[in-house]
Structure 1
Amino acid sequence: MDTNTQKALESLRRRKVNASIAIAADLANDNLNSICRLALAWISDGNVHGISYFIKPREGPVQAHNLTEDMLADSKPFDVVWDEDIAFLLKDAVLSAYRSERLFPAIKASYEASGRELPLKDVYIRDLKFLASTYMPNLANDSLSSILHRMKIPVDMDNALSRAMACICGLSWLENLYPISSYGIPLSAILAGALQGQPEEVVETREEREAREQKEAKYAKLTYYTKMLFLPFVIFCLFITIYYVHRYGEAAQSNVNFSRYSTSGVPELSDSEKEAQQEKTRLPSSSGRYLMMRGTYVIPDETTIPTFLKASHDRDMETIRSLVRSDKILVFAKPTRIQITGDKDKNGFVPIQILEGDYADRTGFAPDDMISK
């Protein structure tokens, strides 16, 4: 291990609690199991650090940018690199990536080409594309280059390490403006296709990207002075601010915070106060269609509610993860319309029927404060 690699790994141990580690990969060819380079990046001591590994694919030619078969000839297979160099770095980590629904199936396929099952389980993923599309209004598109251009973060799209470092910088940019530190999608949900319903990425060639960036730079100064000279711009900013506050309120609903149902430290209400509170917050049964935002959830079986409430009260995230993996808690990946079918029960859950999406026609119980009235 060289000195630079050793310093990078030492900085990894000093990163903040709950801080992400970003992952990016290059495929050697069109085969999903042909990862030939894997990169990790993180922020520690106020700086961005990263490390990458060459990997010898088990099948197919090497057609990746800036990589040749000679460069990978002495490299180890993916499963060996993962077991010896990567697995211990990711212990108890929150992982992040751009387009997790593509990256992690490739990681799973590349590892399991060895005939063994991928040992990466029970981890949560922060997806840069998902977060950017949720918290950044008016994106031209949600390609990685467009997201990073809005954030003014440079990136070499042909280099996995550069993409991983840009991804972790992008997440840090979002964390400084929005409440995303508790965000995470279970890896099992991603592998099951929870994010596959999102729009396809608009892919730009290098020439198209350079032409677009030159055009934007050409008009940057003109746009700046135009905004400064005209009063309508001030009025426009006022409307944008109102719109931003509205979008921020909607986006805040996309964070799944199971801990809100923990009753520790909450003073006991009297019977009259409970009744008044119930009447104030009661939703009418069968009263029309309502909306549940991304990140909200439904419990299909009423008998699961006490188990869920106890796990939330005890901060038992292992039990909650198990409920999500076994579909005893359904997490919405996009805004979904529902029908209320009955009155709220004493635990704060409302019986509903899902009207669209992957869970259409299923019934269950939703927290009343997650339903957009």
Structure 2
Amino acid sequence: MNVPLWVWIVTLTVTMSVLAFDVYMVARRPHVPSMRECAQYLAFIVGGAILFGIGIGVLSGWTYGGQFFAGWLTEYSLSIDNLFVFIIIMAKFGVPEKYQQTALLIGIIIALVLRAIFIAVGAVLINQFAWVFYLFGAFLIYTAVKLAKEGMGDDHDDEFEENRLLKFVESRFPATQSWEYGTKLFAKVDGKKLITPMFVVILALGSTDLMFALDSIPAIYGLTREPFIVLTANIFALMGLRQLYFLIGGLLKKLVYLSLGLSVLLAFIGVKLILHALHENNLPFINGGQPIHGIPEIPIWMSLTAIILILGVTTVASLLKSRHDQQKAHHS
């Protein structure tokens, strides 16, 4: 896929313009978005993603179009799992509802920047070292097993464990404890410059998403080797995440099989990566350093079909289970 420089420039310019407009509007009037507002924005982002994927298919071929849709759906489904942690972070730091939108927006911008760096590093590794697919595949299968164990547990953990970066910042930099400074990141108290709770929350959101990127970036590289598709799929997935947070916050608790569904999805992509690595093998201790041409590769149409089926079955099964549990509780 040959992507001209001007296409990259236009894509990044449009993305930054939309984000800048969002920042301006949210900063101008901090508020809790209505369901209608969230639904309209989400429809705009989802519609844009669908049109973008169709455009790639028409202009560059439907193999690449299928790769975009498979990558976008995968990134979106993995991002939904992030929302559980985001909800816990908001509760832990007691973020007032009218400021949550600002925190999410800035956290998502940080996540986009960090993911862009991850994507660039991943592209370099893939181009230089074909064996990195073995590492990506093994890591995804390991993550799938871990997610499956969590999915078979009681529920999502309601406790947020601060990472090392967050602990370092909180221990080294004095901070205010109240939300009287609103969305400001810094405040001057008694002549001293302090960080605010908003600064800490944004750092928590951004750094937490970076941990999730360790799963999602290898996963999408298992579906496409095109950095442009990887980046745009992540942009569309993350840009609709803020509205999804407010729109389906209550529905998330009903997706009881989400972790199990995502574990199956990651395991599928992990196996796909390892099969691809065997097909392009150059490790001397495997088949004498020669590619294993008899190994079948999973085509993108099969990947896209599997992703849709896995996510569809997960959603339907979760809602049926939640409904059954609700009726059981009501009768008892």
TM-score (norm 1): 0.26
Larger strand share, 1 or 2: 1
Larger helix share, 1 or 2: 2
TM-score (norm 2): 0.28
Higher relative contact order (CA 8 A, sep 6+): 2
